[in-house]
Amino acid sequence: MSRVVLHVDMDAFYASVEQRDDPRLRGRPVIVGGHPRRGVVLAASYEVRPFGVRSAMPMARALVLAPSAIVVPPRFSAYAEASEQIHAIFESVTPLVEPLSLDEAFLDVTASRALFGTGEAIATHIRARIAEEVRLPASAGVASSKLVAKIASDLAKPNGQRIVPHEDTTRFLAPLPVSRLWGVGPKTEEILRAQGLHTIGDVAARDPISLGVLLGKLGPHIHALATGRGDDRPVVPDREQKSLGAEDTFEEDLQGAPALAPHVHAQALRVGRRLRRAGLVARAVVLKIKLSDHTLFTRRTTLDEPTDDGAVLHRAALVLLDGLPLSRRVRLTGVSAHELSRGGGQLPLFDQGAQRSKRLNQVLDRIADRFGPAAVVPADVAGLGQGSGADDEARRKVGAARFDAPSPLSRRERGRG
């Protein structure tokens, strides 16, 4: 029996959240982004895309293409809250959920069909619940592998779904450009095109040995993918991961510990929450920073005791941060938990501090489950948000001339769908 894999991806996630929360933005060309001269587009609503605006485009270029677009500064806490709700819907259908970002995930629903019906019915059910409960559009692909499910969801956008039965995989892939195959970047695509291989079907028809001569080990691999084989990777939920992490690439480079520490704090708390949801604890913490010239630094420390407490992860990460070259401009920070094991062990009987921390985290998790992850956060993390109400309204301007630049925020997991 073939697997049934879903890829569910939110449509223009950040922009859709903004349009949901402000009715005046619905049906309007919306750009979620930063400073008009230094920032990048984090998300582009479907109404602004006919102008050529896309995610990751420099804001300056986007505003030349669409000078009348409504520019909205990002509200990361709102996106995280919506993401929590969406992933809870995924997990109500199957425990085999592999989060890829805030707004997309793979789901293995092979065993779920006994309860929820066919893969198509499950995708329809999930998208309907997201629309009703979170009030956001989502697209889905249903196939027997991750690669094909991902391609199918891309082709179903916006707000649609595409079903590819296992037996139709080769026929579905054949007319698509070779760039759709994982592992085929611009250079490899250029080599293939020079050999007259423009579509996936062209690659499937070529002898894998000749592709090996042309591309080395990559040749037989992409041939297997092109013929509907070669992608048997399982859907790996958090509880089976070897590490869990959170990282953010800043819209504008940051400098110095005071500017970076709140982001590290927020990342540590996100990792702690993911650990608790997966029933895991971590014995090691890794901090990484990437400088503006793309130089990467990583530091690692081992904890005295395994933990799922974001506060403990935060304290360890701050010690690591102290030894890094923070006088230089930093474009990315990340916190990850390693040496994972099953949590839930009994806390030391007389360690009242650990007992209090566990009870506090249980309360905070219940609050987050009910009201969203932004309901209760430390003051320095709250300061990363853009506020709400009048403050947000003051920042919503049309065009670059009247844009009030927000403070730098993450563009990781951008709402590009």
In the numeric block, the tokens 């992409």 are attached to: 222
List 40's β-bridge partners, or say none. Answer: 58
Q: Is-contact 89 130, C-beta < 8 A?
A: yes
pLDDT tens profile 296-350: 999 999 999 999 999 999 999 999 998 888 889 898 899 999 999 887 544 554 4
pLDDT tens profile 222-238: 999 999 988 899 998 87
pLDDT at 354: 64
pLDDT tens profile 37-50: 767 898 999 999 99
pLDDT at 370: 64
Tokens in use for 211?
Answer: 């592709």
181 vs 376 pLDDT, higher one: 181
SS (H, E, C) the chain: CCCCEEEEEECCHHHHHHHHHCHHHCCCCEEEECCCCCCEEEEECCCCHHHCCCCCCEHHHHHHHCCCCEEECCCHHHHHHHHHHHHHHHHCCCCCEEEEECCEEEEECCCCHHHHCCHHHHHHHHHHHHHHHHCCCEEEEEECCHHHHHHHHHHHCCCCEEECCHHHHHHHHCCCEHHHCCCCCHHHHHHHHHCCCCEHHHHHHCCHHHHHHHHCCHHHHHHHHHCCCCCCCCCCCHHHCCCEEEEEEEEEEECCHHHHHHHHHHHHHHHHHHHHHHCEEEEEEEEEEEECCCCEEEEEEEEEEEECCHHHHHHHHHHHHHCCCCCCCEEEEEEEEEEEEECCCCCCCCCHHHHHHHHHHHHHHHHHHHHCCCCCCCHHHHCCCCCCCHHHHHHCEECCCCCCCCCCCECCCCCCC
Indicate whether 202 pLDDT > 90. Answer: yes
pLDDT at 156: 97
pLDDT tens profile 384-407: 654 333 233 323 333 332 233 333
Q: Where are the domains of the chain?
A: 13-75, 171-227, 243-398
> CATH number of the domain at 13-75, out of 3.40.50.1390, 1.20.210.10, 3.40.1170.60, 3.40.250.10?
3.40.1170.60
Q: What are phi and psi of 216, to 5 degrees?
A: 75, -145
Residues annotated catalytic, as ranges: 104
pLDDT at 351: 53
User: Lowest-confidence range among 164-173, 207-216, 273-282?
Assistant: 273-282
pLDDT tens profile 150-178: 999 999 999 999 999 999 999 999 999 99
Indicate whether 409 pLDDT > 90. Answer: no
| Cα–Cα distances in angstroms (integers) from residue 328 to residues 109, 173, 256, 286, 325, in the given order | 47, 46, 8, 20, 6
Q: Is-contact 201 216, C-beta < 8 A?
A: no
Per the annotation, binding residues are: 9, 103
At 140, the pLDDT band (50, 70, 90 cuts) reads very high
- Say if 13-75 and 171-227 have the same CATH topology: no
pLDDT tens profile 16-64: 999 999 999 999 999 998 777 767 898 999 999 999 999 888 889 999 9
pLDDT at 372: 61
pLDDT tens profile 367-379: 666 666 665 667 6
Per the annotation, binding residues for Mg(2+) are: 9, 103
Handedness of CA 153, 158, 161, 162 (dihedral sign): negative
In the numeric block, the tokens 């990437």 are attached to: 290
Confirm or reject CATH 3.40.50.720 for domain 171-227, answering yes or no: no
pLDDT at 293: 87
Average pLDDT, the chain: 85
pLDDT at 128: 97
pLDDT at 166: 94
pLDDT tens profile 77-133: 788 889 989 999 999 999 999 988 889 999 999 999 999 999 999 999 999 999 999
Beta pairing, strands 104-108 & 397-398: unpaired
168 vs 251 pLDDT, higher one: 168
Give the architecture-level CATH label for domain 243-398.
2-Layer Sandwich (3.30)
